[in-house]
Structure 1
Amino acid sequence: MTRPLYLHIGLQKTGTSYLQGLFLGNQEVLREHGLDVHPRQRREAYWLMLDVRDRLRPHNPPQAREVLRGLPEALRSAPGRAALVSEESFSPAEDHQLRRLLDACSDREVHLVVTARDLARQIPSVWQQGLQSGRSITFPAYLARLHETQGTPAPIWWQKDLPAVLEKWGRHVAAERIHVVTVPPAGAEKDLLLRRFCSVLGVDPAHLDRSSVGRDNRGLRLEQAEVLRRVNAGIPDELKRRDVYGDVGKRGFSVAVLGGTEGRRILLPRSEAAWCQELSEAYVEHLRSGGYDVVGDVEDLLPREESFAPDEQEVTEEQVAQASVAALTTMVSRQLESHREVKDRQLAALEPGWRARVGDAVRRVLGRS
């Protein structure tokens, strides 16, 4: 019997980081229960996506080109009853690109897994994620672009137009083997998304160790997002290369400094409610009529009242200044802590006699002043 391969292709900002971290961190346990995870490292899954989508660049390491080449043999030699490949940026692949990926899936029976979230929560989350990748577009301008390009294959819709993603991949994978896992609404039962996802894989989530995977992947708040947006606007484009900006701008500044601080949630303005509701209802109808395996409640994709702000969520200059000072304070404090540790190690390495003579010299200088 042909063994299944579960290909999780996104969508973006649908709990993918949590799920990937959990499965990558439990590979041995999953293997014992018949599920192999490929590739075995997150960066290799990212390289696989880059290669599939023709996005590898000269600055990518040579081994990045080996992941796709090695995938067929890795899947053939995997001992489990099933395998999982997960990367949320597979979903925008063009027809010839996704065929390349499917051709590399050895003799497996490919099952597509798509995690989907209601647009009212996904849109603000994707916008701030774009800021964390170096973009500087304002939220109102981002929303205007969504309206202008709705119904087109514009990149801004690649990770949001659920029917378009399903129809494209459905030309290569039968609808009954396309599993759409809906992200539960805010306040839902803990680990409900995980249980839904595991039900597709045939894995009992009780076997998984969740202690090493953080659940709090909270994005930027409104004030911090505006600080990052303005910083990005001042950074030359040549410094926004993925491997450079990702370490400094995203993980170093956005996540480590701005992330997790207090502020207002980024919400869709109330003026977008009717548009969002109409579009979401169309998505729900597509799922109901498309023959897909919907895991969860399809109405989880309809927006909730609390997802809309009563105003346009303007950020004042005072709020920007406060958030900027807080960020600078964090950055300088960490530099001081690091510098103090270096100084303390240097002092501890001095011989007792040297330390005494240095102390005497300092006191003499201070005494003359």
Structure 2
Amino acid sequence: MAKRVFLHIGAPKTGSTFVQNVLWHNLQSLKDAGILLPGKFASHDEAMADLRGLSWHASPAWSWERMVTAAAAWPGDVVITNEGLGAATAAQAARAVRSMSPAEVHVIVAARDLWRTFPSMWQQSIRARGVWSFEDFLGAVQQGRFDDFWEHHTANRMLRRWGDLVPAERRHLITVPGPGAPRETLWRRFAEVIGIPDGVCDLDVPGGANTSLGAAEVEVLRRVNRALGERYPHRAPYQRVVQRHLVDAVLKQRTNELRFGIGPDRAEWVLDMAEKQIKELDEYPCDVVGDLAELRPVDVEPQATPDQLAQEQVLDAAIETIIGMIGHAEHLDLQLPEPRRNPLERLRRRGRRLKRGLQKVSSR
């Protein structure tokens, strides 16, 4: 069995894309250092979905038990990383930790300030086929009608469900550096927890961050989701089609200049909730890597929300999106190989051409 198993469970929108990109692009170097990431990126997502009983994948190759088996076969340290793990129930979390025995299990949770978390989390929900407006999302959280936000997307409750299952010294809270900080700072904090020496991993990896959409672009996607109805009801087909051909190929490629965020009517509430979050985490016994003060919003400037866009702005973005998808379709078309014809069909075509040629000669 592995000596130590590090379960990186979230939270979503805390720089996990960059951290995971570094890990997956340095697999061999990590193995040489005695650290294993079992399978591949999709394996961790499939195992997470299996643990939580989610039907996100049509025919998953990796179950949670397969992940456990892979960890058991490795003599060093193991890292399992998927931000969806943080949303597991208390019983599911207990099963996950128990299944890794007798390895020394560590739980890693990252936290980000709420001022940036709210817009990012809403956008992520739209990119996962959501249809509610930013205003409806914030209203539901503020009025207590969407408790899942706190349960599934913030460090506080994740630590209670997962951290309580291991000793305090094996609970690790990584704070996400504030705006403008070098992205390497987050990686160094993550590497410090696991014990990855400097120089083992090359940080210059493709796809370093999960590109955010602008206000108009994300509003176009929200309306597309609403119009899709029951098509692509599961996450995997939606990502394979909509995420790939609309979001990644077109919407992410736009300038996305019109940013959005918390409106002035909710600024005080968000700041108050941030202070409560910091206080609660300060009172929870765990290893804090970073500074809890980084969870206090800075440069707080209320911004317009996507709900406040003029219809012309949304229409212009939609038209530009259609143009972008035409270009994307043309690019795909140029990449398609020439269809292979049946040999018999080729002979028939040659026969018809020869017949037409003889007819022309005889008519002269």
Normalised to the residue count of structure 1, the TM-score between the two structures is 0.86
Paired position in structure 1 for 2:68: 72
2:279 is aligned, of 261, 282, 285, to 285
Paired position in structure 2 for 1:162: 155
Figure out how many residues of one structure are paired with residues of the other and give that number.
347
Q: Which amino acid aligns with 2:55?
A: L
**What are the within-5 Å matches in structure 2 for residues 119-268 of structure 1?**
119-149=114-144, 154-263=147-256, 264-268=258-262
Paired position in structure 2 for 1:55: 54
Q: Give 3-state SS (helix, strand or coil) of 1:206's partner.
A: coil
Is the contact between residue 269 and residue 313 of structure 1 (CA under 8 Å) also seen in structure 2? no
Q: Which amino acid aligns with 1:106?
A: S
Between the aligned partners of 1:148 and 1:268, the Cα distance in structure 2 is 16
Q: Name the CA shift for 1:217/1:71 in 2 (closer, same or farther; >3 Å).
A: closer
Paired position in structure 2 for 1:35: 35
2:100 is aligned, of 95, 101, 105, to 105
CA RMSD of aligned residues (A): 2.8
Between the aligned partners of 1:23 and 1:276, the Cα distance in structure 2 is 33
Q: Which amino acid aligns with 1:96?
A: A
Q: Which amino acid aligns with 1:50?
A: A
Is the contact between residue 129 and residue 219 of structure 1 (CA under 8 Å) also seen in structure 2? no
Q: Give 3-state SS (helix, strand or coil) of 1:179's partner.
A: strand
Q: Name the CA shift for 1:124/1:340 in 2 (closer, same or farther; >3 Å).
A: same
Q: Give 3-state SS (helix, strand or coil) of 2:255's partner.
A: coil
Is the contact between residue 6 and residue 110 of structure 1 (CA under 8 Å) also seen in structure 2? yes
Is the contact between residue 2 and residue 71 of structure 2 (CA under 8 Å) also seen in structure 1? no
Paired position in structure 1 for 2:343: none
Q: Name the CA shift for 1:305/1:272 in 2 (closer, same or farther; >3 Å).
A: farther
Q: Name the CA shift for 1:285/1:71 in 2 (closer, same or farther; >3 Å).
A: same
Between the aligned partners of 1:134 and 1:226, the Cα distance in structure 2 is 12
Paired position in structure 2 for 1:26: 26
Q: Give 3-state SS (helix, strand or coil) of 2:319's partner.
A: helix
**What are the within-5 Å matches in structure 2 for residues 262-341 of structure 1?**
262-263=255-256, 264-306=258-300, 308-309=302-303, 314-340=308-334
Structure 2 unaligned blocks of 5 or more? 341-345, 354-364
Between the aligned partners of 2:137 and 2:78, the Cα distance in structure 1 is 37
Is the contact between residue 8 and residue 80 of structure 2 (CA under 8 Å) also seen in structure 1? yes
Normalised to the residue count of structure 2, the TM-score between the two structures is 0.87
- Which string of whole-angstrom CA distances, capped at 9 and with x for unpartnered residues, describes residues 79-109 of structure 1? 32x2211110111111111112112213111
Between the aligned partners of 1:15 and 1:118, the Cα distance in structure 2 is 12
Between the aligned partners of 1:261 and 1:89, the Cα distance in structure 2 is 28
Q: Give 3-state SS (helix, strand or coil) of 1:208's partner.
A: coil
Q: Give 3-state SS (helix, strand or coil) of 1:239's partner.
A: coil
Structure 1 unaligned blocks of 5 or more? 358-369
Between the aligned partners of 2:336 and 2:69, the Cα distance in structure 1 is 48
Is the contact between residue 5 and residue 84 of structure 1 (CA under 8 Å) also seen in structure 2? yes
Paired position in structure 2 for 1:363: none
Is the contact between residue 181 and residue 296 of structure 1 (CA under 8 Å) also seen in structure 2? yes
Runs of 4+ residues over 4 Å off in structure 1: 310-313, 340-346
Q: Which amino acid aligns with 1:78?
A: W
Identity of aligned residues (%): 28
